[in-house]
Chains A and B, each alone.
Chain A
């Protein structure tokens, strides 16, 4: 898959990622994050966005099993919608919006460095798998 993509570039921890703008509904600052006991670490909690309950996902856990910082009130987040399922991805910093060249799961930023292009469909599927298997374990 080669071509120009409109992406939002952001940082989580020390890593920078890109996500196609068409998935992003909103960039928000999180309200109070409620911890969900018995949920897998991929779920950083839930928070209230305009009266809707929104799960906050930890991208680090979903991509390579490494948890990032706990989601807290005031943290930045991208509100992502895939097939009617809405959730928030916690980020440390939103860098910029750009039109970048995409190549096989990565995009090349202005300084020529490759960035991971996140695939929200897969992230959410992974999250759902983790939640389901956790739920089955606990019964």
Chain B
């Protein structure tokens, strides 16, 4: 088939699919090879390998990759030769084949790169060499596509009718999901050929997206729940107020007859409304509870979809050991227990490096040379065991060797020598305490404990990964018998992508989906222009730290529910994958935080709630101060608008004008004071930050003037922090309105009492 069958996008997508499929297939071959060890794989296994390469050949042709067609064909030929027995299987064959397949897999990843062609040539040679009989390196076996080798092994009809190979119980980057629930768990209706299970192939990213949406749902629910709790309090207050009214009416105070009737009627209505409100909030709470359960089901379901068996990790471990054997010459046997234990794929992926590290450690430091082992009466070949088991909600992975164990006496001496422990502490410490020092986070600064444990470097990586996943790492050791590292991990985890940053010496996180950009903000700036939009600036150094900034700061552009703002920080660290942990019931009322995460070194880092940040920059409803009973209702009259921005002055003039106000404007506080001396205004609308005389100074001056004691004043500002609100309240300001000003916000502010 030619590339002309597809347009460019389609072809790119198809090739991507092919690569993923090919990786799966090649992984399967490796798994089969590793399963059989050094001996020749069974006839069935070799047939399966041929089927994989044959399928690859077909698909590679479809997506226009002639080099892959050629390489797959050669590989198939080699497997056919092994199966036929025309090329003997020697002790090194398995290693060589694994190597070739690994090379082929890395070529798949890089095949679009410019120098990929040379790789193809090299691969061709190495594949052909596999089929060369080791005794006489005479003639390579040449087999053509139309040769009988392929036909005898592969049922063409079957292969061709299944364009995507369906592979069960094999570590693959694509998750197989059983579909067609009817087939599952039902006894076969009639004997005969079993109904083939239907499988659905899903790109992992899609499930991850769903997972993260489900995680978001949790946050949403918490937010709604808080609001409903508030409603419930309001309902109670309302009921109480109504009771007060009721009581007042029942003590026979003389009232004008019409008035009493009206009040009794109002009381009756209020009672009904209060009851309805509390019923509704109670029902809402029930519904939230139902929502919580459903979200739980969705999350658990998605997690189960993402579950995979530990087998892939074990397969990886086997390969690592093979590579180590080749590199160091140390022969170690791998024993695996509990391969079928299932756990979250997201956790599995994070564990590849730590397990590799533990194996390296065991091979390099744990295992004695064969002669020493013989002297102790141990088998010459050391064994490393990886055990997996599920324990409640945890997965326990143990990596054990039968080597020399950790010398706790030497370790204790070193801990004293390096000043980590006092002599007293060392004397009091139990064996277990000393061993714990090997994996203790507080000993992490320099790999001393690692080094003196004789267990090499790299434990830090293991410890960090385990901590990041919310798990625990422990070690046990028996001198002369061996060492066991035990990783206890959550079966599944809510990993989320977060942006990390520093404010006032502490690291914080914010969900990465809400961070749309970064920028720089000048000291004192209250707005910032990002891609032609003027956005409010939320100064996190004021919210979370000590006081205002004196210099230019980096900032994150946060977008949530259609509203954007700029948050200044001290330093942007970057996007990381984090685990979200709840802050617990005691701190739950602090809505600024969506939770926390634990860093690799075990520190708690707080996660900010984007919704709350937005709310701080855009107070939706203007802040109305209820205790200003004496100020008159604003209907219309003469208004004075003070702002140093001409655009804002114009906008306010137009908005107020259309409400029937006569509007005067001033560009700063000093000018406004002059104007106020001449005319008694019915409404003052002022900005806070202005040259000459600022907003608060202006208001305090005005309040000293008898004529402006009770005049409604509205502040328009882009920064409304607690301090501002407090001052505004002290000065009897009617409302604070956040910029950008809309007609609705302004009218609400005027209506506020």
Query: A-side interface residues toward B, CB under 8 Å?
Result: 31-32, 34-39, 43, 46-48, 50-55, 85-87, 124, 127-128, 131-132, 134-135, 137-139
Contacts and interface: CB of A to CB of B under 8 A. Distances in A.
B603 A53 contact: no
Contacts, number: 86
A139 B471 CA distance: 35
B280 interface: no
A43 B588 CA distance: 13
14 contacts: A31-B602, A46-B583, A48-B602, A51-B470, A51-B471, A51-B598, A53-B582, A53-B596, A54-B584, A128-B585, A131-B587, A131-B589, A131-B590, A138-B722
Contact of B605 (A34, A54, A139): A34
B604 A32 contact: yes
Given A34-B506, A51-B470, A52-B581, A85 B605 contact: no
Interface string B441-480: 1000000000000000000000000010011100000000
B543 interface: yes
B601 to A, nearest CB: 8
A127 to B, nearest CB: 6
B586 A124 contact: yes
A47 to B, nearest CB: 6
B207 interface: no
A131 B588 CA distance: 9
Given A46-B596, A48-B598, A50-B472, A39 B590 contact: yes
A36 B587 contact: yes
A120 to B, nearest CB: 12
B545 interface: yes
B470 A137 contact: no
A84 B725 CA distance: 37
Nearest to B546: A37
B81 interface: no
Interface residues of B, number: 33
Given A39-B590, A46-B583, A131-B589, A53 B604 contact: yes
A32 B598 CA distance: 11
Contacts of A86: 584
B506 A32 contact: no
B603 A85 contact: no
Interface in B531-556: 543-545
Given A54-B584, A127-B586, 20 more contacts: A31-B602, A32-B602, A34-B606, A37-B544, A37-B545, A38-B544, A38-B590, A39-B590, A43-B587, A46-B583, A46-B606, A48-B602, A48-B603, A48-B604, A50-B472, A53-B596, A53-B598, A85-B584, A128-B585, A131-B587
Contacts of A35: 506
Contacts of B604: 32, 34, 46-48, 53
A32 B603 contact: yes
A137 B606 contact: no
Given A34-B605, A53-B581, A135 B586 contact: no
Contact of B586 (A128, A137, A139): A128
Contacts of A39: 587, 590
B592 interface: yes
Chain B interface mostly? loop
A139 B343 CA distance: 41
A139 B615 CA distance: 9
A36 B606 contact: yes
B93 interface: no
Would you list the 3 A-B pairs with minimal beta carbon distance, nearest first?
A: A135-B589, A37-B544, A34-B604
Interface of B: 441, 467, 470-472, 504, 506, 543-545, 581-587, 589-593, 596, 598, 601-606, 615, 619, 722
Nearest to A87: B586
A85 B605 CA distance: 20
A46 B602 CA distance: 12
A136 to B, nearest CB: 8
Nearest to B545: A37
Contacts of B584: 53-55, 85-87
B41 to A, nearest CB: 43
Looking at A35, A46, A85, A127, which has the most chain B CB atoms within 10 Å of its CB?
A: A46
Contacts of A34: 506, 596, 603-606
A106 B601 CA distance: 41
B603 A38 contact: no
A55 B586 contact: yes
Contacts of B545: 37
B485 to A, nearest CB: 18
Contacts of A38: 543-544, 590, 592
Contact of B583 (A51, A53, A139): A53
Contacts of A32: 601-604
A132 B619 CA distance: 20
Contacts of B583: 46, 53, 55
B514 to A, nearest CB: 19
B543 A85 contact: no
A89 to B, nearest CB: 12
A98 to B, nearest CB: 22
Looking at B545, B586, B601, which has the most chain A CB atoms within 10 Å of its CB?
A: B586
Given A46-B596, A48-B602, A51-B598, A37 B543 contact: yes
Given A48-B603, A53-B584, A135 B590 contact: yes
B538 to A, nearest CB: 13
A121 to B, nearest CB: 13
A84 to B, nearest CB: 8
A39 B504 CA distance: 16
Contacts of B592: 38, 138
Contacts of A43: 586-587
A137 B545 CA distance: 18
Contacts of A139: 615, 619
A53 B589 CA distance: 15
B591 A135 contact: yes
B592 to A, nearest CB: 6
A52 B606 CA distance: 13
